[in-house]
Amino acid sequence: MTFDVELTPLARLRPGELLDELSTEEGTVVLVGRGEVSMVVRLSPLGQVVLAAVRPGLTLVELESEVRSRIGEPEAGDASSLVRAAVMALLETAVLAVDPG
């Protein structure tokens, strides 16, 4: 699964086609895809926050703000870069989808 939509400031992020989601004390996995083509993806801690935050459909800037409000500033690194990296990873695995702005 790949994505080829440019992540512009107006592009709206939303959950991909998630067929199921399972959370335990270990973390969260989601099943993405349709029909015969499906894949289980294990989310990182930040990935879980991003997926939960993005459900209404948000731009990247809105998402960064929402993630900050949920978990605060990171102890190390730049929040924007970290969120963007998480978003890119989730787009690559189709956990997130993007609608061009």
Partner 1 sequence: MSVPASTPDGTGTRVFVDALGATVAIEVQDPRILRAVDRVWVACRTSPADGCPVAVAPRLGEDADDDDVARALQLLTQVVTRQAILARAGSMTMLHAAALCDQRSGATIALVAPGGTGKTTLARTLGRGRGYVTDETVAIAPDRSIAPYCKPLSLRRAGTNQPKDEIAPQSLGLTPPQVQPWLAGMVLLRRDLPDGGEIVVEDIALLDALVLLAPETSSLAALDRPLHRLADLVESVGGLRRVRYHDAADVEPVVRDVLGRPR
Backbone angles phi, psi at 92, to 5 degrees: -60, -30
Q: Return the residue of 3, 7, 11, 38 that touches partner 1, per CB under 8 A.
A: 38
User: Taking CB under 8 A as the rule, does residue 70 contact partner 1?
Assistant: no
Of 37 and 76, which has the nearer Cβ to partner 1?
A: 37
User: In this chain, which stretch among 5-13, 33-41, 57-65, 76-84 interacts with partner 1, using CB under 8 A?
Assistant: 33-41
Pattern 2-31, partner 1, x by CB under 8 A = -----------------xxxx-x-xxxxxx
Measured on CA atoms in the order 93, 45, 6, 11, is the torsion positive or negative? positive
Taking alpha carbons only, the member of 100, 59, 101, 55 closest to residue 83 is 59
CA-angle at 55, arms to 51 and 59, nearest 5° = 90
Token code pair at residue 96: 């997130």
Binding site for partner 1 (CB under 8 A): 19-22, 24, 26-31, 33-36, 38-42
